[in-house]
Amino acid sequence: MAEFDFDLFVIGAGSGGVRAARMAAAGGMRVAVAEDRYMGGTCVNVGCVPKKLFVYASSYRESFEDSVGFGWQPGAAAFDWETLRDNNAREVARLNGIYRNLLANAGVTVIDGRARIEERQLVAVGEQRFSAERILVATGGWPYVPDIPGREYALTSNEIFSMAEFPRRILVVGGGYIAVEFAGIFAGLGAETSLSYRRDLFLRGFDRDVRTFVRDEMGKKGVTLHFNHRVEAIEKQSDDSLLVHMEGGGSLAVDTVLYATGRAPNVSGLGLEELGVVMHRDGTISVDDNFRTNVHSIYALGDVTGEPQLTPVALAEAMALVKHFQTGETTEIDYNNIPTAVFCQPNIGTVGLSEEEARDSGIPVVIYKSEFRPMRHTVSGREERTLMKLVVDSSSDRVIGAHMVGPDAGEIIQGIAIAIKAGATKSVFDQTIGIHPTAAEEFVTMRTPAG
């Protein structure tokens, strides 16, 4: 008789947890997964997938308007929230089913419910108890809303996709990529949209030129931006609207307040503290190079460990962990030069170091920049512009950062990321023949350093 019920018990069926469970089961391990909310985690249900679908939806209004300059005579267009909401829900449900089937087909036991680690090798789900040689925590993050009066009236990304009614006026609170993306979505769908951020400029950590460029472009698209702006309280009115009070005076009347102020590790009630698992001050779980905590039977990966909160990162970590289980080897994951896209409007794509990061590190840099009106808008008449930027180490000629704001920036930067990962120099970029006419060719035709 086996000593344990399972060789591996995974808590959380998000991207990292599902990948680890499937690959471990494929390698012959007896694996269980417990999930208390939805299959696929944040990305599939309330993150990457629905967000991108909503970005597509919000872009049609401009496409209808732009088509006039190309000879089209579109009729009156009207947006129906219920259609988008319900079609998105159906797609998410379809993906939930796919994830469940992937686990079942791999021979993984799926247990519905919130798991709690009661002992180092014992997990409880409701009244059930399961022993496991190894336990993996892959529970991801949870939206954070500060403790202010009226916080119960605010929505987060967990609820925003399934609202009963579309808001005529919405305030998005936050300055990260999620806040910027949702502000663009709701403005594009026709809501009167404001964004409130407590500092002087949003998208902290991104290249400064990118941040200021996006600020200006968002303003063109009708988003009202409030910087150095703090929400003090939210007050519900008799007509169910919300009056948002600001620190220092002033208020804003809206129908919906969306808090996009970051995500905290989803570790509440897991029993980690009682077992002495070491966690950082921000609540993330401390792990070694093999994703093992200080309690040797317990592992953790993905957003809950504090590494870049990106689905592909969790997937790479899951593959490295399973390989370690199978071979005992350590697979070092390189967290440098991870390409990132922000699906604001226009999109951001970025990889490598910002100009500020490079200079702060003492790297001698040469900067190349190009700003232009995309070809389609020379006919559409829209005032939207595109920014491209390269950060080059002048001592080696290596391109150490590439940044873009413009249509399909994420698609373009993915290819540029391969070149940067491979150590391409500016000379290699210059020798590469561009594809004409495209915006992407600008990355291989910038010759004059910025002043």
Mark 239-270 as b/e (b = at least 16 C-beta within 10 Å). Answer: eeebebbeeeeeebebbbbbbbbbbbbbbeeb
Range list of H helices, 238-331: 272-275, 311-327
**Continuous segment of H or E residues that includes residue 444:** none
Sheet with 224-226, edge to edge strand ranges: 224-226, 192-196, 169-173, 256-259
Name residues whose C-beta falls within 8 Å of residue 47's C-beta, 6 or more positions apart in sequence: 41, 157, 311
Instruction: Report the residue count for the chain.
Output: 451
Question: Which H or E element spans position 218?
Answer: helix 208-220
Distance CA 449, CA 451 (A): 6
Amino acid identity for residue 79 in this structure: F
436 labelled catalytic: yes
> Collapsing DSSP states into helix, strand and coil, what is residue 91?
helix
Residue 153: Cβ within 10 Å count: 15
Torsion of CA 90, 91, 93, 96, to 10 degrees: 180
Query: Sign (positive/negative) of CA torsion 428, 433, 439, 442?
Result: positive
- The answer for residues whose C-beta is within 8 angstroms of residue 370's C-beta and 6 or more apart is 387, 388, 389, 442, 446
Q: Where are the beta strands (DSSP E) in 48-96?
A: none
What 8-state DSSP symbol labels residue 215?
H
C-alpha distances out from residue 396 to 111, 160, 389, 404, 426, Å: 53, 47, 18, 23, 9
Quick one: tokens of 12?
């959380």
Question: What is the greatest pairwise CA distance in the chain?
Answer: 75
Q: Give dist(CA 388, CA 88) in Å, integer.
A: 33
Question: Across the strands, what pairs with 341?
Answer: 349
Catalytic residue annotation? 436
